[in-house]
Amino acid sequence: MNIGYYPGCALHGSSDDYEESLRACLRALDVQLQEIDEWICCGATAAHALNQKLSTALPARNLALAERGGFGEMLAPCPMCSMQLIKAQKALAGNEGLRREMSGIVELEVRGTTRVLNLIQVFEQVGLDRLKAALKSPLKSLSAACYYGCLLTRPPDVVEFDDCEQPRSMEAFLTALGAKTVDWSYRTECCGGGMTLASEETVLDLSHKILSNAAAHGANCLVVACPMCHVNLDMKQPDIERRYGVRHGLVIYYLSDVVGMALGLPESALGINRHFVGKA
């Protein structure tokens, strides 16, 4: 399988462990990722709040680049990016006038024909059967809380992925790979996202609640598919523990980490050794 790949700023910066992990994992499953040439910002942070036109034009340029590369499908592992890209793609596909306007602005013809996928959808394309066949070391020791965060399933009419309030798609993979999953309440709560800089307290409070609820329901690790969630739950975990005087000690895995582990890849190849919270 050969698909386009839009890393976005996170996977080339603070979360390059995520990129390392998903590249290693997908390589083992024979999925070739081809990075889009000359990709630019997805427009998620500032543009999205300040300027409607810019917040369509930025993802439109990326979609145009993907179309130029001939990609019918493109992985955008960061849910902020995929939400932005899908929103633009849907708007473009349904509006001739907008297509013309945006093609002018981004100086490339854009049609909105590339389908944007999140990481779970790529694994769904690989299929549970193939994953089970490639299973080398079942994840027997994991009791995982699958954490989708606020954006992976929302807004539901944009991303059209899983049940937006009670998603179950990650659990299906974890169960197939021999892990236990816990039934918990904070699957789709917000971790605080980009509030780290503006109000760290908010991030610590929200992430603390997520970690506490996962632990209370018997989880020994969390599995995420969002770089921002990973930063808040993993890197900030020592700060959370200090602030609230508790010890969570919960390992935060990317979905590709646990799939890679099940396929028999070493933790170092998946970048897991670079996480802040190590094995309990």
Does 199 contact other proteins by CB under 8 A? no
Compare residues 109 and 163 and give the one whose CB is closer to other proteins. 163
Backbone φ and ψ for 278, nearest 5 degrees, come out as -95, -175
Does 185 contact other proteins by CB under 8 A? yes
Nearest to 78 by CA among 51, 43, 114, 29: 43
Q: How far is the CB of 147 from other proteins (least distance, A)?
A: 13
Handedness of CA 69, 70, 76, 80 (dihedral sign): positive
Core vs surface per residue 186-204: b (16+ CB within 10 A) or e: bbbbbbbbebbeeeeeebb
Q: How far is the CB of 165 from other proteins (least distance, A)?
A: 3
Compare residues 56 and 207 and give the one whose CB is closer to other proteins. 207
The 138-157 site mask, x for binding other proteins (CB under 8 A), equals: ------------------x-
Does 163 contact other proteins by CB under 8 A? yes
Distance from chain centroid for Cα 166: 17
Distance separating alpha carbons of residues 104 and 159, to the nearest angstrom: 26
Amino acid at 117: L
Distance separating alpha carbons of residues 123 and 253, to the nearest angstrom: 16
Restricting to residues 202-231, which ones interact with other proteins according to CB under 8 A? 212-213, 216
Question: Considering only residues 2, 165, 242, 266, which one is a binding residue for other proteins as defined by CB under 8 A?
Answer: 165
Compare residues 75 and 182 and give the one whose CB is closer to other proteins. 182
Number of residues near other proteins (by CB under 8 A) = 12
Distance separating alpha carbons of residues 246 and 236, to the nearest angstrom: 13
**How long, in residues, is the chain?**
280
Compare residues 13 and 218 and give the one whose CB is closer to other proteins. 218
Helix (H, G, I), strand (E, B) or coil at 253: strand
Q: Which class for 223: exposed (0-12), middle (13-18), buried (19 or more C-beta within 10 A)?
A: buried
Restricting to residues 23-82, which ones interact with other proteins according to CB under 8 A? none
Cβ proximity of 34 and 27 under 8 Å: no
Q: How far is the CB of 159 from other proteins (least distance, A)?
A: 14
Distance separating alpha carbons of residues 112 and 9, to the nearest angstrom: 22
Q: How far is the CB of 217 from other proteins (least distance, A)?
A: 8
Question: Considering only residues 166, 199, 268, 273, which one is a binding residue for other proteins as defined by CB under 8 A?
Answer: 166
Does 186 contact other proteins by CB under 8 A? yes
Compare residues 114 and 181 and give the one whose CB is closer to other proteins. 181
**Which range in 3-11, 132-140, 169-177, 183-191 contacts other proteins by CB under 8 A?**
183-191
- Interface residues with other proteins (CB under 8 A) are 156, 163-166, 183, 185-186, 189, 212-213, 216
